[in-house]
């Protein structure tokens, strides 16, 4: 399985959706980094508790999910050895017979492609290692990297900018602040306008009642990233972020800055003019480049947009095939478990950006 991401730091995910536990091993983290375990739990809870749709977007969270750290952390400090953590799988012991559907290619899932790739031996229960649940240990890695970044003044946060056809106004890619990022990040349903968030939640509930699922978009920002982080061509900062972003099941699109909109502009419209501010910092008047030029950070806020598809499991009959018997079949779920993947994908997107930034910052002088 291609579950290892190896840059300056390496991340290895392990476990399966219906196994007893899932987890992650991080290697080559700098030693001596203080890691607050409550902070890790709060971050993890943002991912695991968003598996259901809250009725009130401002409702406070109560329970925290504490990952079990097996190695690499003593007295809340990284030791420099591999940091291993796992979480018990809350649904790992549910009695469900997958034999009747194990050869059916569920539309929108990776059942068929996974069976072909792994010659029929891959765990087919709830997607096995290909499940969206594998983003939970990814979020542990992201939570660790987020704390490392914030102690250096770098903040990463994401917001939901749309669900289905309902949109929320994104933050300014030029002037986004740490305070704005933290305000949205601390909301249970991370939107800028809570009224739009309530409309999104109502739309999700309507879809759920009709046996349907919805997709949407997420905007992510990183502020106070110094200029000069990254490398050109194949080792660019965008490259690393993109590789991790596309490790999140459900992601179908990614753009930095103006993204595809830049294809409609002229050069003079798309270029971001430079200037020196009153503190002697080199900045740009606009930020259509999304804070990265030539694979290297410019000192402007890093901004990116991510498209999330509707969850594939819907409560409606769908045509499919039995890829063992090569017969045409019909499959239908009894209910919808994930009416919208967008809320739980927000901390996953943040994690991808945090991991990529820490990995590249290891090359930055005087940062560690």
At 38-58, the pLDDT tens digits run 999 999 889 876 544 444 444
Read off the DSSP letter of residue 281: -
- Residue 319: which domain range? 4-361
Q: Which residues pair with 217 in a beta bridge?
A: 162, 307
- Alpha carbon dihedral 3, 161, 336, 119, in 10-degree steps, equals -20
- With CA atoms as reference, report the closest residue to 224 among 305, 159, 300: 300
pLDDT tens for 78-90 read: 999 999 998 877 5
Is residue 178 pLDDT above 50, yes or no?
A: yes
User: Could you tell me if 284 and 271 are in contact, meaning their C-beta atoms sit under 8 angstroms apart?
Assistant: no
Decide if 299 is inside a domain: yes
What is the number of domains present in the chain? 1
The answer to the question of residue 249 being in a domain is yes
Structure tokens at 235: 């080792």
* 278 within some domain: yes
How many CB atoms lie under 10 A from the CB of residue 90?
A: 11
| End-to-end Cα distance, the chain | 32
> Does pTM top 0.85 for this prediction?
yes
Give 236's contacts (C-beta < 8 A, 6+ positions apart).
230, 292, 294, 295, 296
The answer to whether residue 255 is domain-embedded is yes
Strands 83-88 and 77-78: unpaired
Looking up residue 21, the CATH number of its domain turns out to be: 3.60.150.10
322-367, pLDDT tens digit by residue? 888 889 989 888 778 889 999 999 999 999 999 999 999 998 877 7
Q: Is residue 11 part of a domain?
A: yes
Are the CB atoms for 133 and 337 separated by under 8 Å?
no
Q: Give the separation between CA 132 and CA 335, rounded to whole angstroms.
A: 18
Q: What is the pLDDT of residues 296-324, one digit of tens each?
A: 999 999 999 999 999 988 999 999 898 88
State how far the Cα of 21 lies from the Cα of 38, in Å rounded to an integer: 21
Cα angle 317-216-165, degrees, rounded to a multiple of 5: 85
**How high is the mean pLDDT of the chain?**
89
367 located within any domain = no
Distance from chain centroid for Cα 185: 13
Residue 151 lies in a domain: yes
Instruction: Flag the least confident range among 71-80, 129-138, 216-225, 267-276.
Output: 129-138
Q: Is residue 368 part of a domain?
A: no
pLDDT at 127: 57
């Amino acid at each position: 399985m291609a579950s290892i991401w190896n840059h300056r730091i390496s991340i290895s995910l392990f476990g399966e959706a219906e196994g007893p536990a899932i987890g992650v091993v991080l290697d080559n983290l700098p030693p001596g980094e203080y890691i607050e375990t409550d902070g890790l739990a709060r971050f993890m809870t943002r991912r695991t508790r968003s598996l259901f749709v809250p009725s009130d977007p401002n409702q406070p969270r109560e329970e925290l999910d504490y990952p079990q750290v097996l190695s690499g952390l003593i007295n809340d400090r990284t030791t420099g050895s591999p940091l291993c953590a796992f979480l018990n799988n809350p649904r790992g012991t549910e009695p469900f017979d997958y034999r009747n559907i194990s050869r059916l290619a569920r539309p929108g899932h990776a059942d068929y492609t996974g069976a072909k790739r792994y010659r029929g031996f891959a765990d087919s229960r709830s997607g096995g290692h290909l499940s969206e649940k594998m983003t939970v240990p990814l979020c542990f890695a992201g939570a660790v990297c987020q704390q490392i970044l914030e102690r250096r003044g770098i903040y990463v946060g994401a917001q939901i900018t749309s669900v289905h056809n309902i949109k929320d106004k994104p933050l300014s890619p030029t002037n986004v602040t740490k305070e704005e990022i933290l305000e949205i990040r601390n909301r249970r349903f991370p939107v800028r306008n809570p009224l739009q968030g309530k409309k999104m939640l109502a739309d999700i509930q309507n879809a759920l009642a009709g046996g349907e699922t919805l997709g949407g978009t997420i905007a992510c920002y990183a502020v106070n990233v110094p200029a000069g982080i990254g490398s050109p061509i194949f080792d660019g900062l965008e490259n690393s972020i993109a590789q991790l972003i596309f490790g999140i099941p459900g992601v179908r699109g990614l753009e930095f800055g103006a993204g595809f909109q830049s294809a409609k502009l002229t050069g003079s419209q798309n270029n971001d003019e430079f200037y020196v501010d009153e503190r002697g910092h080199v900045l740009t008047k606009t930020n259509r480049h999304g804070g990265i030029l030539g694979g290297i950070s410019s000192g402007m806020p890093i901004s990116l947009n991510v498209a999330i598809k509707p969850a594939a499991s819907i409560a409606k009959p769908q045509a499919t095939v039995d890829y063992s018997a090569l017969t045409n079949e019909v499959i239908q779920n009894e209910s919808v478990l994930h009416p919208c993947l967008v809320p739980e994908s927000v901390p996953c997107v943040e994690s991808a950006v945090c991991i990529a930034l820490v990995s590249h910052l290891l090359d930055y002088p005087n940062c560690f």
